[in-house]
Amino acid sequence: MRPVRLMKVFITRRIPPEGIAALSRAADCEVEQWDSDEPIPDKELERGLAGAHGLLCLLSDRVDKRLLDAAGANLKVISTMSVGVDHLALDEIKKRENARWLVITSICPHVHRSGYTPDVLTDTTAELAVSLLLTTCRRLPEAIEEVKNGGWTSWKPLWMCGYGLTQSTVGIIGLGRIGQAIARRLKPFGVQKFLYTGRQPRPEEAAEFQAEFVSVPQLAAQSDFIVVTCSLTPATRGLCNKDVFQKMKKTAVFVNISRGDVVNQDDLYQALASGQIAAAGLDVTTPEPLPTNHPLLTLKNCVILPHIGSATYRTRNTMSLLAANNLLAGLRGEPMPSELKL
């Protein structure tokens, strides 16, 4: 009997146990992993990927022309443990004709014979977005610090007052799966009106919240809370800039859980420092991690989290398993649970 030819798979980081277990059980694969929780150095990534048939990467791994050249002609499947694909040079990948290129985003929704399978991080990220919004608008980090440093003395009528959601207008930039999940969670707080903006109206999705489609300037001017959930594209890069912040209410709270590059952070700093807007909550920044001497970190009215939108044990394990199954299916020429069509 002819021996089975092993396909080399390279994983760029330690991933949660369910994903690595699925790959380790694959008798037709030889798995190599960068055994660290920290990002793999460029030279090590090039070395590890050389001759590989499959790559399992993270959103922090830039897959560009240089890396694709280093990989060689064997590489035919890229599986990313992320919902976004802005770290993949898709135009460069499309040029490659020496392999069956299958670029897979592991967290997209998909339909197959057994029906619809929902994306795995929508609910987790929506929970985090609502948590970040509430933490920011009610000034919780400031309040905790006041308890620790002795600032909490007698009760004062306006001390540590923030802004509530009841009877408010919430604007959502990008009413996709996560945007809808956020609106669904905010509605019971007594939000009076939802606005949204994007490439085009989405009447079916908006109907659940009676959300109104408006332009970005209109959304900025009318919203008490703005939540950014759109994808990073050439059209959205730098979308939230001084023009947007100048149109916002002085009492408005701005939250970004999409990608750091959607926001001009210098403009955001000026808006916060000058009191042009009330507060901001960010789960994403540029760069990541944000340098500890960054001006935004000096502001009491800016809450910054280390990109933890999908950070629950269940979600991260499910992400890793889906990424592994995508990779294996692609290598074996089988239908993938979630394939990005180029």
- Taken in order 239, 342, 5, 28, is the CA torsion positive or negative? positive
Tell me the C-alpha distance between 158 and 260, whole Å: 33
| pTM summary value | 0.86
Q: What is the pLDDT, as a whole number, of residue 241? A: 98
Q: What is the pLDDT, as a whole number, of residue 95? A: 77
In angstroms, what CA-CA distances link 251 with 86, 152, 164, 243? 33, 24, 11, 17
- Taken in order 27, 32, 33, 35, is the CA torsion positive or negative? positive
Share of residues in the chain with pLDDT > 70 (%): 91
Catalytic residue list contains 307: yes
Give 199-242 pLDDT, tens digit per residue. Answer: 999 999 999 999 999 999 999 999 999 999 999 999 999 999 99
Q: What is the pLDDT, as a whole number, of residue 112? A: 31
Give which of 100, 8, 13 is closest to 52, Cα–Cα.
8
Q: Range with the lowest mean pLDDT among 82-86, 186-190, 257-261, 329-333?
A: 82-86
Q: What is the pLDDT, as a whole number, of residue 104? A: 55
Q: Is the pLDDT of residue 97 over 60?
A: no
Q: What is the pLDDT, as a whole number, of residue 264? A: 98
Q: What is the pLDDT, as a whole number, of residue 260? A: 97
Q: What is the mean pLDDT of residues 82-99?
A: 76
Residue 342's pLDDT band (boundaries 50, 70, 90)?
low
Q: Is the pLDDT of residue 110 over 60?
A: no
Cα-trace Rg, the chain: 22
Burial per residue of 171-197, b for 16 or more beta-carbon CB atoms within 10 angstroms, e otherwise: bbbbbbbbbbbbbebbeeeebebbbbb
Q: Is the pLDDT of residue 99 over 50?
A: no
Give 319-336 pLDDT, tens digit per residue. Answer: 999 999 999 998 998 887
Q: What is the pLDDT, as a whole number, of residue 109? A: 41
Q: What is the pLDDT, as a whole number, of residue 253? A: 98
Give 23-58 pLDDT, tens digit per residue. Answer: 999 999 999 999 999 999 999 999 999 999 999 999
Which SS3 state, helix, strand or coil, does residue 88 take? strand
Q: What stretch of H or E contains 180?
A: helix 177-186
Residue 120's pLDDT band (boundaries 50, 70, 90)?
confident
Give which of 236, 182, 239, 235 is closest to 205, Cα–Cα.
182
What the block records as the tokens of 248 is 């916002």
User: Would you say 331 and 79 are in contact if contact means Cβ atoms under 8 Å apart?
Assistant: no
Active-site option among 87, 110, 294, 307: 307
User: Would you say 104 and 331 are in contact if contact means Cβ atoms under 8 Å apart?
Assistant: no
Give 247-303 pLDDT, tens digit per residue. Answer: 999 999 999 999 999 999 999 999 999 999 999 999 999 999 999 999 999 999 999
Tell me the C-alpha distance between 132 and 249, whole Å: 19
Q: Is the pLDDT of residue 63 over 60?
A: yes
Q: What is the pLDDT, as a whole number, of residue 82? A: 86
Q: What is the pLDDT, as a whole number, of residue 1? A: 41
For the chain, what is the mean pLDDT?
A: 90
